[in-house]
């Protein structure tokens, strides 16, 4: 599943189509494609893991789910997996195996931009306040809560908890305030490091915990487990990541 930084890369890679008219809208997405034909792309936006294609009267919302992908100017997968193709005079966009929805409402009424970890409007104080509303929640679940940290996915979760030395099964309400503040700050900082490293094709080289076998700090085994209500794959060190319960 693409995380917030990957959606930023997608947004940057399609700017050549901004201001262009959609001359073709095909694919097996169950949406009214007549609303797209001959409409001009006003803007491309992102919110967390959502990619937003803004037209004058409707927005195309694309969520890549677990296995979604895209390509630019060349169809790289079968028609069966092609959810939407947008054709322009200067090229085409292809979206595969993803969820596609048309939004007619004002986006500002739907999205809290201050919750987007990659947004200029990100508000760390709001994130801390939201965390305090769920004292019994495991921190591994809280980091994946898109209401609190829009754009955070499993890689960011694992790496941030390792860097902050917090055990993923810690209860939010038991983690000291200073540690919560440091965790929120690290989440934002690591997300932009993720963006930088992914653009340089070296993201995996910087992983400290995700998919690793040995803790770099303790020289002890990294534990792999499926934790929390989200039941997502989690990598952590039982020795240096403190469990707050």
Q: Is this model's pTM higher than 0.85 or not?
A: yes
Q: What letter would DSSP give residue 156?
A: H
Measure the CA angle with vertex 238, ends 226 and 130; round to 5°: 65
What is the token pair recorded at 45? Answer: 């936006």
What is the DSSP secondary structure assignment for residue 17, as one 8-state letter?
G
Considering the four listed CATH numbers 3.50.50.60, 1.10.1450.10, 1.10.8.50, 2.170.150.70, the one that applies to the domain covering 120-236 is 1.10.8.50
Tens digit of each residue's pLDDT (9 = 90 or more) over 115-137: 999 999 999 999 999 999 999 99
Residue 14 to residues 43, 90, 97, 133, 205: CA-CA distances in angstroms? 10, 11, 19, 38, 27
Tens digits of per-residue pLDDT, 56-94?
999 999 999 988 999 999 999 999 999 999 999 999 999
User: Of 106, 89, 120, 5, which is closest to residue 51 (Cα–Cα)?
Assistant: 5
Q: Which CATH number fits domain 4-109: 3.20.190.10, 1.20.1070.10, 3.40.50.10310, 2.60.40.3880?
A: 3.20.190.10
Average of per-residue pLDDT across 42-66: 96
Q: What local confidence, expressed as pLDDT, does residue 72 receive?
A: 96
CA distances from 12 to 76, 84, 146 (A): 20, 19, 22
Torsional sign, CA 119, 117, 178, 210: negative
């Amino acid at each position: 599943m693409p995380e917030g930084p990957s959606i930023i890369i997608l947004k940057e890679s399609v700017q050549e189509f901004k201001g262009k008219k959609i001359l073709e809208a095909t694919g097996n997405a169950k949406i009214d494609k007549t609303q797209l034909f001959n409409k001009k792309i006003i803007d491309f936006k992102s919110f967390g893991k959502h990619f937003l294609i803004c037209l004058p009267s409707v927005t195309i919302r694309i969520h890549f789910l677990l296995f979604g992908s895209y390509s630019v100017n060349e169809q790289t997968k079968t028609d069966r997996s092609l959810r939407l193709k947008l054709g322009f005079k200067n090229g085409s966009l292809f979206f595969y195996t993803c969820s596609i929805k048309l939004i007619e409402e004002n986006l500002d009424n739907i999205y809290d931009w201050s919750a987007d970890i990659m947004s200029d409007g990100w508000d760390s104080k709001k994130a801390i306040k939201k965390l305090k509303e769920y004292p019994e929640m495991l921190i591994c679940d809280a980091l994946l809560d898109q209401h609190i940290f829009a754009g955070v996915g499993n890689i960011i979760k694992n790496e941030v908890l390792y860097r902050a030395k917090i055990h993923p099964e810690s209860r939010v309400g038991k983690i000291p305030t200073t540690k919560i503040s440091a965790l929120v700050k690290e989440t934002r900082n690591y997300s932009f490091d993720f963006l930088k490293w992914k653009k340089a094709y070296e993201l995996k080289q910087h992983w400290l915990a995700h998919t690793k076998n040995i803790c770099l700090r303790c020289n002890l085994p990294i534990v792999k487990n499926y934790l929390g209500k989200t039941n997502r794959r989690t990598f952590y060190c039982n020795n240096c990541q403190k469990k707050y319960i």
